[in-house]
Amino acid sequence: MAPIKRVNFNMEDECHALLKGACALQGVTVSDFIYDLIATKFEELVASDTRIHAMFMRGTYPEGSRCIKLRKRIEDDILSKSSYVAN
């Protein structure tokens, strides 16, 4: 697995308490919950913003990383669409 970087951000106390409680009820850590939210939003941006898509596709990522898995899904999707058009 690729090295993990720490990201910090500020949140109002009430929001933090709700987030922490919601995560506890779902049995996930706040870090995992936020990471999944950001990853989902990033995938949406890669699909909808050509600049972000181009930046992402030019990147170099460690084997087995979430980025490699996303790139593979994008490439497979492109191949399936192009083979559909060719037929």
Q: Please check whether residue 75 lies inside any domain of the structure.
A: yes
Q: Residue 85 pLDDT more than 80?
A: no
Question: Has residue 5 been placed in a domain?
Answer: no
The answer to whether residue 84 scores a pLDDT higher than 80 is: no
In which domain, by residue range, is 72 found?
13-86
pTM value? 0.75
What is residue 29's predicted lDDT score, i.e. its pLDDT?
Answer: 96
Q: Is residue 81 part of a domain?
A: yes
In a domain, 31, yes or no: yes
Residue 69 inside a domain? The answer is yes
Higher pLDDT, 2 or 34: 34
pLDDT in tens, 26-77: 999 999 999 999 999 999 999 999 999 999 999 999 998 989 999 999 888 8
Q: Is residue 3 part of a domain?
A: no
Tokens of 11: 């949140």
At residue 4, what are phi and psi to the nearest 5 degrees?
Answer: -100, 130
Give how many domains the chain has, as a whole number.
1
In a domain, 2, yes or no: no
Which runs of consecutive H residues, i.e. helices, occur in the chain? 13-26, 30-48, 50-58, 66-86
34 within a domain of the structure (yes/no): yes
Question: CA 80, 48, 31, 2 torsion: positive or negative?
Answer: positive
